[in-house]
Amino acid sequence: MKMTVFQSDKGDCLLLTSTSGKNILVDGGMSKSFVDHVADELARLRQRGQGLDLVYVSHIDQDHIAGVLKLMDDILDWKVFHFQRANGNPTFPQPDSPEPPEVKAIWHNSFHEVLGKNAGPIEDMLAANASLLSALDLDWARGLAERAGDLATSMNEAARLSRRIGAGQLGIPLNRQYDHGLMFVSDPPTPIRLGSLRLSVIGPYAEDLKNLRDAWNKWLRSQQGRKQLRKIREDAREDERRLGADEFESFVGSVPLEAAALGDRDEVTPPNLASLMLLVTEGQKKALLTGDGHADDILAGLESCNQLAAGGGIHVDVLKIPHHGSEFNTTSDFCRRVTANHYVFCGNGAHHNPDTRVVTAYVDSRLGSPSKRSQNPEVGDPFRFWFNSSPTMQDAKFPAHMQEVRDLVDRAVGRSNGQMSGRFLRTSKFELQV
C-alpha cells in the first residue's frame, strides 16, 4: 500500500494505492491547490491506463470537497469536448485542465435541499450533496452571504455534485454498497472489499447524521436558507460556473485558542462530527482515515469493528490526524491508545492547525513521561511525523505558525535518540510506503 499526500492548502487530499493497483482519492483539498498540485498527478494515472476506483469525500466542508468538485467539472468538460469532436465539431476548444482519469465510484454523505424529503428515516435518504454545511451556523452563513454570493450558494451545493455524478451527466455510482443512501457504522460491521483492500466504516454513527440532518433542516426553514436556495437554483443553470470559495475561511468555533480544552467535542461542528471515517487494511497493513471526526467517535468506531478492545489500544501503519490537528478533535487518551508508524498532518497553519498542543500530545504519547506514554507494545518503535505544508514553501500562507510547529518537531526529534523523524512538504506531494 502506498499513500501520496498532496499539498492541499488548509484541507486534505491524499491518494491511496493498493499493491494490486487500486486507487482511492481521499478528499480533494481546496480547488486552487487541486489545480496546482493534484490535477497533473491524476492525469498521469489516466496516461498509464489507470483510473480512480473510488473517490471518497469524508464530509462536505470546502477544504475537503472543493477539489473534488473541480475534478468533476474537469471530467464534464472533457466529456463535452470528446462528444463535440466525435460529432463533427473539429474546432471545439480543448479544455485548459489536464484530462482526469475515469472515476468509477464515489462515497459521500449529504442531504437533499427539499425539507420534506429529510423528514424520513435516515437510512432511506438519498445522498445528494452540499459543499459547505459548515455554514449551518446561521450568523456565519449570513456573514458569508454578505461577502460573496458564490460562497453562500455552497450551503446547498446539493444540485452541483449530485447533478455532476448523476446519470444525466457523468453516471458515477454513489454509495453503491449502501444502496445509494447515507453511509454510517453498520451492525454487524461488514468490511467492503476493493481488490486487495478491505474498507471498514468506523464513522459516523446514525445519531451524528441525524444531528446533521436536523441542523440542515433548520437552515432550510430559515429565510436566509430559502434566499440562498433560490440563488443556487439560478446559478446551477450555468454549467461553466466554477467554485470560487478558496479565499474564505471556514467556521472554527467560538472558544478562543487560549481558553479551549483539548478534545472539547461540543466545539466540533455537525458536519465534522458526521465525517465518513475508514479503517483501510491490506494484509497486515492498516491506514486510519479520520476526516474531521472526533477522537472519541474514532475509538468507538474501532471498537464496533472489533479492532479495539474497550479501554485498549491499536497500532496502525498510517494515522491521518483528525481535523488538521485541531485542539477540539484530539484527546490525550486517543494519542495514547492509537499509535502509528506514520502520523500525517494535513494543514497549512490556518486556524492555528496543526495546533501545537495536539502535536505535543502525539509526541508525548511516544516520548513523554510514563503517565503520558502509550501502553501499546509498539511505543518504542521508530515513527515519523509528516506535514503537507512547511514554513518555507513558495506559497506558505501562515509561515509563522508552521515555523512554530517545525521548531517543536525539531526539538522532539533531537531528544528522541533516533526514534522520531519529521518531514515538512515544500513541493506538491510526498509518498510514503506503508
Q: To which H or E segment does residue 421 belong?
A: strand 420-424
Question: What is the model's pLDDT at position 146?
Answer: 34
For residue 85, what is its C-alpha cell? 469532436
Question: What is the model's pLDDT at position 181?
Answer: 82
Tell me the whole-structure pTM to 2 decimals.
0.82
* pLDDT tens figures, 254-294: 333 343 468 998 888 777 888 999 999 999 999 999 999 99
Domains and CATH numbers, the chain: 2-433 (3.60.15.10)
Q: Residue 105 CB: number of other CB atoms within 10 A? A: 18
Which of the residue ranges 63-72, 140-149, 211-220, 333-342 would you say has the lowest mean pLDDT? 140-149
For residue 422, what is its C-alpha cell? 519529521
- Mean pLDDT score across all residues of the chain: 81
CB 295 within 8 A of CB 331: yes
For residue 86, what is its C-alpha cell? 466525435
Q: Residue for cell digits 451524528?
A: 208
